[in-house]
Each structure stands twice: as C-alpha cells, then as structure tokens.
C-alpha cells in the first residue's frame, strides 16, 4: 500500500494525517466530519475559537461547498489558485456561507462545512494548496481537507517533517515526509468587502500582487475578522524580542535573502541550542517583509523594543 493510499484510508476513517504543503506542514482531516475536526483541535491543543482553513483541489471543488464566491474571488482563483499561472501562490479566501434558502434553491450541494471548522462564524476560509502530495490526497479522498499547521498550537510552524515529529509524535497516526516546504510561511488570508480585498493575515501573496485586482486594505495587528491572528504564535521556548530600529541593510537582507523562508526552522534550532533569549531585527513591513514582521511580533508576544543609538 502506498503512503498516499494509507493517508486516504486514514482520512476516510476520520483520522488526522500530517501532509506537506508548499507553505508549512498541515494537519489534515475530512472537513465534512465534525469528529475528525475535533481530533485536529485535540492533537494541536488549538484554541476552540481559532477556525481552520479548508483545502480543496481546485475552484470547482470550492464551488461545491455552499459558499458565496464573489466574482472578484473567481478572478483571484484563476490567477493565484491555478497551476501554471504566473501569479500562482498561497492565497486563502474567506467566503460567506450561503443562507439555508439559497442552499435549497441550488441543490445538490456535495457537502456542507460544519460549524466545528469555522468555529461558529458565518464564513469559511478556503485555499488550493500547491503541493503534489496534498493535491493527490485531496483528489483521492474526494472531500475537502481542513488543515491548520501540524504543530502544537503556539510553537513555530513546521517546515520539515522532523518539526511535526518533534511536536506530534505519539498523537497522530501518520506523517508524510515531503522534505522542506518551499514557502515556509503560512498563506495570505483575505476576505472581501464589495470590491475591496481585505488582508487578514499577510503572506507570500503580497498586497502589491493583489492590488492588480482591486483596492487592498491590510487589517493587521489582531484582525477582528481572523481570530487566529490575535494569539501569541509561532513562538519557540526561548523569549523572543523583536528589535525595531535602523532596519536599513538588515531589513533589505531579510526581504531579499532566499533563506527568509527558514524563520520557523531557525527558531526551533535556537531552542535546541538552549537559547534563553532571541533578538530578531524586524524587517521593513512591506512586500514579503510584512508577512515576516507579522510572524515575528507574534513570536515575541508583541514585545517590541526600539534600538536607538
């Protein structure tokens, strides 16, 4: 039996499986099955008010979920969710659920996302991952997979199978090793307000890239619409201190250095070295720097010191 067959069987049976994606490793379960969703929250120790992202194979599968997908989102999907598109990238879109009346008027739905996934919100977050393992497993399952990062809640996100093993071994039945994640940062999360695109969590799909399609607003610093952005997050055991100051040179380095994707792996390495404090220079909060800034200040529990000479 191949590892994919094993994963699919476990997922059909309502179990959780750690699967690589291009962003970070995900802890996946059948998004239609409330008991399976409960296993995600239990394994991670995830706060019950932090909703999960639903992963689908393509836009067509997203259309089958009983959600209101505005035209603007369809255009974003064609660009950011489509393999081979020059803009293809990690983008999560938050959609309103259709009303019961709208659902009755447009049957048959292939499935409804239960409240357990969206923690009672009237919206559901959806994305198309860009990783052959994750896509193959979704296609073979035929149902969408809810998948937050495959770590203990609050610790740095897992960008290698070893990170998942360190956090969750003994708690989950299967980890698929896909090597290092390409992106190493979670997806950009957006929602729509008329023709406005609101960024709830910055990521590798930047405000600049989205602004080709409409007006963009960044709702950061504990987004009211995105419960998960309020918490201390991504934190190693060591105390993290975010340093703001003359970011010249350093900020430029973080933004342009391809190793920027190793932020979470580095935080875990410092823990292994026994570090008690980690000082991190904050990058300029622009472009991909905004996504890094967002993760670093959460790892630092929003403690920022100003370095002035």
Residues forming contacts to Mg ion in the complex (CB under 5 A) are 149
CB of 44 to ligand AMP, least distance (A): 8
241 contributes a contact to ligand AMP by CB under 6 A: no
Residues 90-119 within binding reach of ligand AMP (CB under 6 A):
94, 118
66 contributes a contact to ligand AMP by CB under 6 A: no
Given 125, 138, 247, 254, the residue binding ligand AMP (CB under 6 A): 125
| Cα–Cα distance, 82 to 88 (Å, whole number) | 6
Residues 159-218 within binding reach of ligand AMP (CB under 6 A):
186, 189, 200-201
Binding mask 243-282 for ligand AMP (x = CB under 6 A): ----------------------------------------
Cα–Cα nearest to 199, from 184, 212, 187, 183: 187
Q: How many CA atoms lie within 13 A of 209 on its CB side?
A: 19
The dihedrals phi and psi of 54, each to the nearest 5 degrees, come to -95, 125
Whether the CB-CB separation of 18 and 26 falls below 8 Å is answered with: yes
Cα–Cα nearest to 30, from 130, 112, 90, 92: 112
Residue 187 is classified by DSSP as P
Secondary structure (DSSP) of 67-83? EE--HHHHHHHHHHSST
Given 19, 41, 51, 282, the residue binding ligand AMP (CB under 6 A): 51
Among Mg ion, ligand AMP, none, the one that 33 touches (CB under a kind-dependent 5 to 8 A) is: none
Residue 113 is classified by DSSP as -
CB of 255 to ligand AMP, least distance (A): 22
176-199 burial: b if 16+ Cβ within 10 Å, else e: bebeebbbbbbbbbbbbeeeebbb
- CB nearer to ligand AMP: give 124 or 210: 124
- CB nearer to ligand AMP: give 227 or 251: 227
CB of 113 to ligand AMP, least distance (A): 9
The dihedrals phi and psi of 296, each to the nearest 5 degrees, come to -65, -45
SS3 call for 116:
helix
36 contributes a contact to ligand AMP by CB under 6 A: no
Cα–Cα nearest to 45, from 199, 149, 201: 149
Cα–Cα nearest to 288, from 155, 188, 221: 188
Given 17, 19, 53, 128, the residue binding ligand AMP (CB under 6 A): 53
CB of 80 to ligand AMP, least distance (A): 16
CB of 24 to ligand AMP, least distance (A): 7
CB of 256 to ligand AMP, least distance (A): 25
């Amino acid at each position: 039996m191949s590892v994919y067959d094993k994963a699919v069987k476990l997922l059909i049976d309502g179990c959780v499986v750690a699967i690589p994606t291009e962003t970070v490793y995900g802890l996946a379960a059948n998004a239609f099955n409330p008991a399976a969703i409960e296993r995600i929250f239990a394994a991670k120790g995830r706060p019950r008010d932090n909703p999960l992202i639903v992963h689908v194979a393509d836009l067509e599968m997203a259309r089958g979920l009983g959600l209101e997908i505005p035209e603007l989102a369809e255009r974003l999907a064609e660009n950011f969710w489509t393999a081979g598109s020059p803009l293809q990238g990690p983008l999560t879109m938050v959609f309103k659920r259709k009303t019961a009346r709208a659902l009755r008027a447009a049957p048959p739905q292939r499935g409804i996302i239960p409240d357990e996934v969206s923690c009672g919100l009237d919206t559901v977050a959806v994305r198309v991952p860009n990783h052959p393992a994750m896509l193959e497993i979704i296609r073979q399952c035929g149902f969408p997979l809810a998948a937050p990062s495959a770590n203990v809640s609050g610790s740095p996100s897992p960008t290698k199978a070893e990170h998942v093993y360190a956090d969750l071994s003994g708690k989950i039945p299967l980890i698929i090793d896909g090597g290092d994640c390409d992106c190493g940062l979670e997806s950009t999360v957006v929602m729509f307000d008329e023709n406005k695109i609101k960024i709830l969590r910055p990521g590798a799909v930047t405000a600049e890239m989205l602004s080709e399609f409409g007006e963009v607003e960044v709702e950061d610093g504990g987004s009211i619409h995105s419960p998960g952005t309020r918490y201390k997050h991504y934190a190693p055991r060591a105390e993290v201190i975010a340093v703001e100051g003359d970011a010249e040179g350093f900020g430029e380095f973080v933004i342009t250095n391809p190793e920027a994707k190793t932020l979470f792996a580095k935080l875990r390495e410092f823990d292994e070295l026994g570090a008690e404090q980690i000082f991190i220079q904050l990058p300029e909060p622009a472009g991909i720097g905004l996504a890094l800034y967002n993760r670093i200040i959460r790892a630092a529990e929003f403690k920022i010191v100003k370095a002035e000479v």
